[in-house]
Chains A and B, each alone.
Chain A
Amino acid sequence: MLATDAPPSSFLRVPARAGAGRMRSRGDRVFRLLTLAAALVLPALVAAIGVQLWEASRLARERFGVGFLWHETWNPVASQFGALPFLYGTVVSSAIALALAGPAGVVVAIYLAEMAPSWISRPLGTLVELLAAVPSVVYGLWGVFVLIPWLRAWVEVPVSLHLSRVPLLAGPVYGPGLLAAGVVLAIMILPTVAAISREVLLAIPGSQRDAALALGVTRWEVIRHILLPAARRGIAGALGLGIGRALGETMAATMVIGNTARISASLLAPGYSLPSVIANEFTEASTPLYLSALVELGLLLFGVTLAVNVLARMLVRGAVR
């Protein structure tokens, strides 16, 4: 830097402009500090969210302690608050979403990255990405008026007629419920799983494919025995990012999950999730303790999604670099 800034003046036969040189480096220093400050806003923000939610949930934390996590009662009138029904609903709906969208997303990624010719994979890839662009509230609207009636008629009623002995599928059919939420979440996280898995697959060097193909192995065998094992960690990361998105998804889940703070064994029963109870009750919280309990649910959600995202990002980073 110094060498280019101040070439020997005798060589250029112009007087050295020491003052200008100092001005220049000061401008650079200021600009550098400015950009550094902007960059540090991001980690500061993550810390600030954590601290702020921790502070704002003090009342509930002091009142209920760790028991908040496994208390089943959520009764604002009696000031009894436990997070269990929401943790249960969040985990179950996200698990359904992962069970449906996980394998499907990986297959879509394999098809787009390895199987389809580019004139097919490009438009289809765009459509899959557009799926991620549809706003959550529109998924909710579609879920309420299109998906739920369809699910009820074609899946839930037949299932409850024939498989009602299975506790997971027992009980009356409502429509809105854990299953409906899981299906909507699955549709919403499919693009995430597919896009990241595709990225991971494309990061595997082409020479590995060529070497195997040269030995007379078919494309599916290359995928099955070489690419998938090599992409294992990255795909696990993609699934993790998918779960992270499902756990925190608010509007669509709120509109189809049934909003009932009860734990039922049946997937057909209505439930509740962490984001949806916050969305529904936050503006109605009539006492400081009630509000503080809702903030604590937010803190839980923040902690869980943070942990899931950190883990998943680490897996994906290892695979893509």
Chain B
Amino acid sequence: MRALVDRLMTAVGAAVTLLGILPLLSIVAYTVARGASALTPSFFVATPAPVGAAGGGIGNALAGTAFVVGLALILGVPAGVLAGLYLAEHAPSGPVAEAVRFVSDVLAGVPTIVVGVFVYTLLVVPLHTFSALSGGVALALILLPTVTRTTDAVLRLVPPDLRDAGLALGVPEWRVTLDITLRAALPGVLTGVLLGMARIAGETAPLLFTAFGNPYWSVSLLRPIAAVPLLIYEYAISPYPAWIAQAWGAALVLVTCVLAAHLLARLLLRPGRAQP
């Protein structure tokens, strides 16, 4: 009887887990089924077509996402890595490091729309315009805690012998940190950056009133810029079937990139390697 209950519970566990991943399978299946037909070569290079006109694509939105995400990486990665270095190397268990770790985790839980409002008041109002710059800053703020915490976690897994060996050779501490410890932890740090990048590439809410969107090509820091998630949102809530079809196409592109990044990160972090 007790063994039977044990088996029954295991079956319940398996059933609930399968039910839990059912939406993922459904999302992937529907984006492929409804999005695949939109993926013509011109879809990747064209700008959006006006309502009623055939064709049109997400070329400028792809470029805009690359631009804004690149900006966020430039702003967020160095700061995050330095903060992670402080946490792991200089005061791993001190009160300051513990407090910063805690705040970092809490910051990661702040809704991204709130970050959008914050950057709006900080940059959009004084500059009097929506801009690629403000979009990049918003995404950088979302990226920062992720990069900090992964860097912190993977650095602490580097064997102390490596550090000691460097210091024993008379290498200054900061060079040891950068050239030995950080280099040893680099695959882990890059994985963290990759996962962070995948996350911010799909963010819509913080871009709504910072990057704003733009139907044309733009490479200006101080002009509104397009982004794939913004385009999906705009098209998905539109009443035009052609736009909705393109929303599915753009969603397919986005989901493919994001899931590929996650699988790549999994490969980089196979068991035995440094796990964040």
Contact = CB atoms under 8 A, between A and B. Distances in A.
Contacts of B251: 137-138, 141
B247 A249 contact: no
Interface string A189-202: 01000100000000
A130 B24 contact: yes
Nearest to B90: A32
B20 A302 contact: no
What is the predominant secondary structure among interface residues of chain A facing chain B?
helix
Contacts of B13: 107-108, 110-111, 115-116
Nearest to A244: B109
A43 B87 CA distance: 13
Given A136-B204, A140-B233, A31 B174 contact: yes
Contact of B121 (A52, A142, A144): A52
Interface in B90-106: 90, 96-97, 99-100, 102-106
B16 interface: yes
Interface in A1-59: 4, 24, 27-28, 30-32, 34-43, 45-46, 48-49, 52-53, 55-56
A282 B120 contact: yes
B153 interface: no
A17 B150 CA distance: 38
Interface string B1-41: 01101100110111011011101101100110010000000
A104 B19 CA distance: 9
Contact of B106 (A112, A218, A306): A306
B60 interface: no
Given A39-B86, A46-B107, A104 B2 contact: no
A283 B208 contact: yes
Given A247-B111, A305-B111, A36 B90 contact: yes
Nearest to A245: B109
Interface in B157-204: 167-168, 172-175, 177, 198-199, 201-204
Given A248-B109, A309-B105, 5 more contacts: A218-B2, A218-B3, A245-B109, A251-B205, A302-B114
Interface of A: 4, 24, 27-28, 30-32, 34-43, 45-46, 48-49, 52-53, 55-56, 104-105, 107-108, 110-112, 115-116, 120, 124, 126-131, 133-142, 144-146, 187, 190, 194, 218-221, 223, 241, 244-245, 247-251, 255, 275, 278-279, 282-283, 294-295, 298, 301-302, 305-306, 308-310, 313, 317
25 contacts: A4-B168, A37-B82, A38-B86, A43-B99, A46-B103, A49-B110, A49-B115, A49-B118, A55-B121, A107-B16, A107-B17, A126-B266, A128-B21, A134-B259, A135-B255, A137-B204, A138-B31, A145-B34, A221-B6, A250-B111, A251-B205, A251-B229, A279-B113, A279-B205, A305-B114
